[in-house]
Amino acid sequence: MWNDGVYIFKELDRISESDLERVSMILPEYRLEKVKKYKRDLDRKNCVIAYLLLTIALKREFNIEGRIAMDYGIHGKPYLKEYQDVYFNFSHCSQGVVCAVSINDIGVDIETIDEKRMFFSSDIFSPKELEFIVNSQKEDFFRLWVLKEATVKCTGIGLVYGSNYIEFLTPKDGTFCKDEFVYHLKKIGSMYLAVCSKYPVRYQMVTRKELLNI
């Protein structure tokens, strides 16, 4: 049975500016332009690393090598121009970057557990969810948040209609099914990661050496 590949890099502090300059040589022009648009060093770093993770994932899971041509389809979802039967999604935060690849729609989100980034909006959370997270630990907020973001990124629907229509109550770490999707919720250090897809997942922790020697 197929397993989605979820490639995670969490050694951001070990990637130097000289490392980025060197690996940026393999990035296609459109990706370099995207990198240059970011003002923060962290965002530029994450943009480069996300592409490198996709390169690694495509080679290992689909035996696809070389520079990757991307475009954006309906609701802004990215896709591979030359391999439209291969699906992927990126996410990054202050402590890590993740790329997930699949043979069907997939969404992934990773967030740093940081109380300063918590908010309570009825545009995002349903009334029952708001009641739950207000009376829960901060980790519960981020469990809900990454699950919702992963769903929105998998379906694209929430980008247009908002995400409070997607309701998760008392989610637990691990794997569970909801509607037609399979969800995978995992804590990694001080981050939470969620995957929304149709299949089981296989997590791959990518090292600095692997990232810089593709």
Burial class (CB within 10 angstroms; exposed 0-12, middle 13-18, buried 19+) of 18: exposed
Q: Where are the domains of the chain?
A: 4-212
**Neighbouring C-beta atoms of residue 19, cutoff 10 Å:** 16
CA nearest 96: which of 173, 194, 191, 27?
A: 191
DSSP-derived 3-state class of residue 72: strand
CA angle 115, 97, 183 (to 5 degrees): 75
Confidence (pTM)? 0.92
Please give the chain's pLDDT, 214 residues, in tens.
Answer: 899 999 999 999 999 999 999 998 889 999 999 999 999 999 999 999 999 999 999 999 999 998 899 988 877 788 999 999 999 999 999 999 999 999 999 999 999 999 888 777 777 788 888 888 888 888 999 999 999 999 999 987 764 445 556 789 878 899 999 989 999 999 999 999 999 999 999 999 999 999 998 7
Residue 4: left if φ>0, alpha if ψ -120 to 50, beta else—which one? beta
What kind of fold does domain 4-212 have according to CATH? Ribosomal Protein L22; Chain A (3.90.470)
